[in-house]
Amino acid sequence: MVKHREVMEDISDVYLTEYIPSMYTSPCTLYYLQNGKQKKWHIFAERNGVVIIVYNKTRDVLILVKQFRPSVYLQRIPEEDRHGKIDVGKYPAKLGVTLEWCAGLEDKDISTEEVAQEEILEECGYSVQIQQLERIGTIRNLSVTTGARSTYYYCEVTDDMRVNSGGGEAGEHVEVLEMPVKDVVDYASNTEYVSSPINFMYGLYWFLSNKYKK
């Protein structure tokens, strides 16, 4: 397992407020008639994105991204303690740290392939060409709440394609992990808890079924 950059797990002054709108999320309520009956549904609209499974065939490792996710952190805190200032001694930052694939939002007027290419360079430190990206498909995320889509890609890299240590853009606290495939499988096989999103599990099973023949 190779580390390129330490994730910032030292958090303090954590507190909850009412939702503050941003350019990335737009909560709303949709009213509609279905079979003549009035209904409504609360939606937390998000931007679309890309997810990339990156495999380094030089050393037989998968490239993962480790980072602190505030939403995961909050869900690890019991509801009775989700008010005002959060006790970070009782609830340390590690509760919100996840392992994920390289990913990013479609927040520029460029193709999803170009978004994927930029994310691989920024997060993982590998320079790839568009033609090296294999499109897996497009899937809807959390259809109950967001409905946003993620376009999945697969990309094989080699050691000589690494041009920097990765770790994301300035201001991001991201750690790049290069894990042997067996270690990733062992991690994902934990029946108690896997600190990764469902797209991580989907991407791993796709990789094992379609690309990894060892």
**pLDDT at 171 exceeding the cut of 70:** no
More confident residue, 144 or 88: 88
Contact between 42 and 27 under an 8 Å Cβ cutoff? The reply is yes
**pLDDT at 173 exceeding the cut of 90:** no
Q: Which residues pair with 97 in a beta bridge?
A: 68
**pLDDT at 8 exceeding the cut of 60:** no
pLDDT computed for residue 168 by the predictor: 67
| pLDDT tens for each residue of 100-140 | 999 999 988 899 999 999 999 999 999 999 999 999 999 99
Q: Quick one: average pLDDT of 60-81?
A: 94
- The Cα 182–Cα 147 span in angstroms is 33
Half-sphere exposure of 49 (CA within 13 A, CB side): 18
Superfamily classification of domain 2-18+47-210: Nucleoside Triphosphate Pyrophosphohydrolase (3.90.79.10)
Please report which helix (H) or strand (E) contains residue 63, including its range: strand 61-68
Give the 3-state secondary structure of residue 200.
Answer: helix
Q: For the chain, give the percent of residues with pLDDT over 70.
A: 93
Instruction: Report the candidate in 196, 199, 129, 155 with the shortest Cα–Cα distance to residue 63.
Output: 155
**pLDDT at 59 exceeding the cut of 70:** yes
**Rounded alpha-carbon distances, angstroms, from residue 86 to 3, 7, 32, 76, 136:** 30, 21, 38, 12, 40
- The residue written with tokens 């509760």 in the block is 95
| pLDDT tens for each residue of 39-54 | 999 988 888 999 999 9
